[in-house]
Amino acid sequence: MVTAQDVDGGLDLESVRALFPATRNLTYLDPAAVGIMSRWSVHAMGEIAQSHADNGIVATAAWGEMIEGARRSLAEMIGGSAERLAFTQNTATALALVVNGLTWRDGDNVVVPSGEFPSNFYPWLQLRSKGVHIREVPMVEGHGDLVELDRMIDDRTRVVAISAVQYSSGYRYDLAQIAALCRKRDALLVVDGTQAVGALWVHADRDGVDVLAVSAHKWMLGPLGVGFAHFSERAMHRIQPSVVGWLSVADPYAFTHEPVFASDARRFESGTEVVANIAGLSAAADLVAEIGRAKVEEVVLDRTAELAVALSGVGLTITRDSDRAHWSGILIATSGQGDAILHRRLLAAGVRCSLRNGLRFAPHFYSAAEDFEVACDVLRGGSN
């Protein structure tokens, strides 16, 4: 187990890497696509499956305690409230709670950058059938133009939707700044936090985020098929449950004929939980807490700086903002030509990264200098 003593004054990288089996045989620089799970998460998920096999319904009380503990841990990690956090399948299903839970009127509008990831773009487009206008903020230097975003918000803007980190450039937005723009017109700020949470310190309540949607399988280093949504107080009042089931109510075991919705965010959870996946997500959050949120962010940003120097040394051009405040764990590098060929070469050599406007690298807190050396050696043509 990684302990507080292990990270005092710096990460004990050897013990951290030992928690991630994939680091033994892969140079894994791709949690911006899909992260790798730790032994903590695998063990937590296995325990749930074993208890299910051994005890069936008898195990459900312990599962309920685990789920509420996970809710508290995640809320603490994002600077929010456990009472306003609901588990979801993924980012898109979390955003669907907003799309389907607000009462829309003909002529309302949603403001969203044109370069958003599809999970935070496609759901809003479906509102066109309700007479809702989708106002696309133009992209400039890898991020939405915030001057234009401010100009597009008016009294009919119900939602401003944006990612905490732009998936195609790694640009990190100042969410508090955008929240202030939303508050002027009483619009909800809805944030896709999947490219940030787990690597960067997100402050949902402090920064004025009304809805934070997160999938577990990227920077959280959790399992596929689980995530969460966190709501502000005003979002809790405005958004109504749109998918309702037996767990959406205050007392699921009362089996009332008419639903009496839970007063907290459990109202947005309709049916039987994906218990094993929540256990895996909870363990991932525990690991971040053990290392420390601020320490994780510091290490991730430092790793990207180290990798940027290494990639520049083999002739690649790094594209990102000069201000560290806008950095994330994503680093875009390009050769100017032949990026697809370089990408295939990297994958063949066991170096995992993605092709997004160039080569998209994403080191995490388990990454080491040796990973960067391997990647650079392949880019030089030293490996097949």
CATH of the domain spanning 5-30+292-380: 3.90.1150.10
At 111-139, the pLDDT tens digits run: 999 999 999 999 999 999 999 999 999 99
60-98 CB burial, b ≥16 within 10 A, e <16: eeebeebbebbbebbbebbbbbbbbbbbbebbbbbbbbb
pLDDT the model gives residue 13: 77
Residue 358 to residue 371: CA distance in whole angstroms? 19
- Neighbouring CB atoms inside 10 A of 251's CB total 9
Residue 10 has a pLDDT of 52
pLDDT in tens, 137-175: 999 999 999 999 999 999 999 999 999 999 999 999 999
Q: Which fold has domain 86-270?
A: Aspartate Aminotransferase; domain 2 (3.40.640)
Q: What percent of the chain has pLDDT over 70?
A: 96
CA separation for the pair 292, 300 (Å, rounded)? 12
pTM value > 0.85 = yes
Residue 6 pLDDT level (bands cut at 50, 70, 90): very low
Q: What was the pLDDT predicted at 336?
A: 83
Residue 17 scores a pLDDT above 90: yes
Sequence-ordered list of residues with C-beta below 8 angstroms from that of 299, at least 6 positions apart, any chain: 11, 365
In this predicted model, what pLDDT tens digit does every residue of 265-310 receive, in sequence order? 999 999 999 999 999 999 999 999 999 999 999 999 999 999 999 9
Alpha-carbon gap, residue 204 to 98, rounded angstroms = 17
Fold equal for 5-30+292-380 and 86-270? no
Domain ranges of the chain: 5-30+292-380, 86-270
At 5, the pLDDT band (50, 70, 90 cuts) reads: very low
On the question of pLDDT at 383 being above 50, the answer is no
Report the C-alpha gap between 139 and 143 in whole angstroms. Answer: 5
In terms of Cβ atoms closer than 10 Å to its own Cβ (0-12, 13-18, 19+), residue 113 is buried
